[in-house]
Amino acid sequence: MNPQEWELVSGFQQAKEASLAQDLARIRAELAHERALVQQMQLNREQELRDMSARELHAQSALAASQLRVEQLSALVHDMRSELIDLRTEKGEVVKRLDAAREEYLNMQRMNAQSRERIIELEAKQARQKSLHDEEILKIRKAMTGASSIMALTRGHDGATDPGYDAVVDTLLQVYTGNMQYADPEAPLRREDNDLLLGRIASLARDIDTLRRENSSLKEERRILQDRIMRLEGLTQKVTEQGLVAPSMKLLMAQLEEKEQAYRDKKICS
């Protein structure tokens, strides 16, 4: 091989080596780039795995929190159902108490009406007794006028009482009772019937005293009934305004009667 060919071959070989070196450098660069890409991809994948693990952990935590919240809500729903049942039961009891209070209120209203009717009846009876009392007073006044005439007839000229007159006056009721057994009830008394007229005056006075005592008793009973009505009305107003359950009517009436009896006993002792 001549030198020219050798040079050509050598140049070709060098060019080929240079080309191979360039290819090798390029391949190495590409390999380094691929390695960098692979490393970056691995890093990215590892980051993604870490992110996925974090998200999975977060999802598990959220799931656990959700399960706990579901359990809490279930317990809350159970408590609310129990509370609702208790409220319904309490509502039924309240309705029963309201019905009982309404019945007690109606009973109190009826008792108030009965007490008012009793007061009206007592007032009418008192008015009748007062009318009778006035009539008896008028009769007594007339009888006293007649008695004055009788006494004038029984006195002597010196003004002294006729013998036996004082004894008749002392035994007016006995004489009146005894003589009326034989007197004609339909025959009017005469002016000469002195003992009967005076006995009638004493009897009327006794009846007036009895009427006064009865009138006083009626006034006291009326006052007690009025006090009872005022107490019952006060209790009714308190129940109406505050919505309280009224106490037992029997217990209330027993307390009122006990207080009234204590008041009567105290009055009798005094």
Q: Judge contact between 229 and 112, C-beta under 8 A.
A: yes
**pLDDT tier at 167, thresholds 50, 70, 90:** very low
Report the mean per-residue pLDDT for the chain: 72
Is pLDDT of 164 > 60?
A: no
In this structure, the chain runs to a length of: 270
Q: Judge contact between 191 and 149, C-beta under 8 A.
A: yes
Domain ranges of the chain: 85-269
User: How would you label 157-180 residue by residue, b for 16+ Cβ within 10 Å and e otherwise?
Assistant: eeeeeeeebeeeeeebeebbeeee
Is pLDDT of 85 > 60?
A: yes
Closest to 140 (Cα-Cα) out of 187, 200, 57: 200
**pLDDT tier at 71, thresholds 50, 70, 90:** very high
Q: Structure pTM?
A: 0.34
pLDDT above 70 covers a percentage of the chain that reads 58
Task: Pick 268 or 172 by higher pLDDT.
Answer: 268
Mind listing the pLDDT tens digit for each residue in 234-267? Answer: 766 776 666 554 555 555 556 666 766 776 676 6
Mind listing the pLDDT tens digit for each residue in 190-217? Answer: 444 555 556 666 666 566 667 777 777 8
